[in-house]
């Protein structure tokens, strides 16, 4: 049974990656300055088409034509927030899914309140690390080390389920095990390598990959979220053997994602029910 489940997830992951390569969904990213380059390259390597457009003036023309939107508050300032909100509203109105990365949600009142306002604008998926999801669930500042997590993803399972129930979003918590829940179902993706934490913007980039997979399979956002996390992890597993440290892992990760083949995906995708 477990093998069967694993194989099904492998096929689903391959379907999402293949579909991304075939359809090249246009992903608008309103993201932090740190992540822009790596996020765009991750999306390109997966076959998607990234566009880092964040001007308030362009959103009414541009956002209705995208396939999905990724909003990341990593280097948030007050002047960026109206564009994020407008883009989320325009995307929802146009029937396009959007994904929220609540970077360092618990680091300040300003960030936390921005996240809470954004969650009200109906993201399809929220992906954060353990501390971010706990901060959002508790609606409280603290218990985070800036953008890095002070918690294991498994510490936030119940918080993720409650947040998913309350918001109607899929909630993903990244870490050694990536947790994905819709409030009822919970799966864990056990792919990836610990050194991913030593490369900035890997979390941001996997959130953008989730947006790409949700764009090609919007009615299965739960599955698309789990497979995106797993595929990113599998690419890292392939890359680590070729790497000498974080800088070369970063390079090989992009190459591995670009070159991932069917048999590797079927063999390595490791998603199970929790
Ligand atoms: N200990 C770990 N082992 C394997 N993969 C990990 C580990 N920690 C994080 N990852 C992976 O690194 C990526 C970024 O996750 P994470 O570091 O939790 O996000 P963030 O950068 O937003 O804090 C994800 O793909 C996640 O699966
Ligand atoms: C270092 C840093 N500072 C503000 S945003 C950012 C990038 C965070 O990226 P990630 O959440 O993927 O680690
Ligand atoms: Mg992050």
Per-residue confidence (pLDDT) for residue 187, from 0 to 100: 98
Q: Is 196 in the pocket of ligand 1 (CB under 6 A)?
A: yes
Q: Please write the tens of the pLDDT for every residue from 161-219.
A: 999 999 999 999 999 999 999 999 999 999 999 999 999 999 999 999 999 999 999 99
The two tokens of residue 178 are: 């990536």
pLDDT exceeds 80 at position 2: no
Closest CA to 250 of 196, 203, 212, 213: 196
3-state class of 142 per DSSP?
coil
3-state class of 104 per DSSP?
coil
Q: Is 203 in the pocket of ligand 2 (CB under 6 A)?
A: yes
Among positive and negative, which fits the CA dihedral 202, 204, 205, 207?
Answer: positive
For residues 206 and 203, give the distance between their C-alpha atoms in angstroms, rounded to a whole number: 5
Among positive and negative, which fits the CA dihedral 26, 82, 206, 177?
Answer: negative
143 confidence band (pLDDT: 50, 70, 90): confident
What is the 8-class DSSP label of residue 5?
H
Per-residue confidence (pLDDT) for residue 1, from 0 to 100: 39
Per-chain mean pLDDT for the chain? 96
Ligand 3 centroid vs 145 CA: distance in angstroms? Answer: 11
For residues 274 and 271, give the distance between their C-alpha atoms in angstroms, rounded to a whole number: 9
Place of tokens 């353990």: 130
For Cα atoms 168, 17, 38, give the angle at the middle one, nearest 5 degrees.
85
Per-residue confidence (pLDDT) for residue 7, from 0 to 100: 53
Ligand 3 centroid vs 273 CA: distance in angstroms? Answer: 24
Ligand 2 centroid vs 147 CA: distance in angstroms? Answer: 5
Q: Please write the tens of the pLDDT for every residue from 232-251.
A: 999 999 999 999 999 999 99
Place of tokens 């564009």: 83
For Cα atoms 201, 203, 209, give the angle at the middle one, nearest 5 degrees.
100
Q: Please write the tens of the pLDDT for every residue from 60-113.
A: 999 999 999 999 999 999 999 999 999 999 999 999 999 999 999 999 999 999
């Amino acid at each position: 049974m477990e093998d069967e489940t694993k194989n099904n997830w492998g096929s689903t992951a391959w379907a999402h990656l293949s579909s991304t390569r075939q359809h090249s969904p246009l992903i608008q990213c309103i993201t932090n300055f740190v992540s822009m380059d790596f996020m765009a390259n991750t999306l390109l390597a997966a076959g998607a088409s990234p566009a880092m457009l964040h001007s308030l003036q362009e959103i009414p023309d541009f956002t209705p034509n995208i396939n999905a939107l990724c909003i990341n508050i990593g280097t948030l300032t007050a002047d960026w927030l109206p564009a994020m909100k407008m883009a989320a509203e325009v995307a929802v109105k146009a029937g396009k899914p959007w994904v929220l990365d609540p970077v360092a949600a618990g680091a300040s009142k300003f960030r936390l309140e921005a996240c809470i306002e954004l969650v009200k604008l109906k993201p399809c998926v929220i992906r954060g690390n353990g501390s971010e999801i706990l901060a959002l669930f508790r609606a409280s500042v603290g218990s985070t080390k800036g953008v890095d997590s002070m918690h294991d993803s498994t510490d936030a399972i119940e918080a993720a389920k409650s947040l998913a129930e309350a918001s109607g979003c899929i909630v993903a918590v990244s870490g050694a095990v990536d947790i994905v829940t819709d409030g009822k179902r919970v799966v864990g993706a056990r792919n990836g390598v610990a050194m991913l934490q030593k490369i900035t913007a890997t979390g941001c980039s996997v959130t953008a990959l989730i947006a790409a997979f949700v764009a090609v399979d919007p009615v299965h956002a739960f599955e698309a979220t789990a497979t995106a996390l797993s595929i990113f992890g599998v690419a890292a597993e392939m890359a680590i053997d070729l790497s000498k440290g974080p800088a070369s892992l970063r390079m090989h990760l992009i190459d591995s994602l670009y070159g991932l083949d069917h048999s590797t995906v079927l063999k390595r995708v490791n998603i199970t029910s929790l």
